[in-house]
Amino acid sequence: MTESMRGMRLGSQSMEREDGVELALRRNVSYRCVEGHEFTVTFALGAESPAEWECKQCKNKALLVGGVELQKIEAGEVDKPRTHYDMVLERRTKAELEDLLQEVLADMRKRRSAGKLSA
């Protein structure tokens, strides 16, 4: 073996070669959002491209351009990113959350008075 690993930065460089590697056939699909941002996403040739994709710039819903007629999205229909609080509100009501908060605070006060909870 004429190749030596002496002096190589192991882990920082790949020892693989690209000889004989054939890349999958690909195609670019264009999307456009309500703000007018247009971008392309690369898919494998046999893969089905979704009708919607999230815009990387404004995080709004972008629709497929070409083959499918671009639909107008009303301002109220635009999907806004959901926060953790929004997801919690999907599972519980505000009254349930208030009760849960009071339970946790009571438990914390009890543990603090027993000296088992620090600031």
In whole angstroms, what is the distance from residue 64 CA to residue 41 CA? 10
Mean pLDDT value across residues 25-35: 89
pLDDT of residue 68: 42
Query: How does the average pLDDT of the chain come out, rounded?
Result: 80
In whole angstroms, what is the distance from residue 119 CA to residue 73 CA? 50
Q: Answer with the residue of higher pLDDT: 8 or 66.
A: 66
Here the tokens at position 65 are 């351009």
Q: Which residue has the tokens 């073996």?
A: 1
- Show me where the domains of the chain are located: 24-75, 82-119
pTM: 0.43
pLDDT of residue 39: 92
Structure confidence by residue, pLDDT tens digits, 53-97:
999 888 888 888 874 443 444 445 556 778 998 899 999 999 999
pLDDT of residue 104: 94
Q: Domain 24-75: which topology?
A: Rubrerythrin, domain 2 (2.20.28)
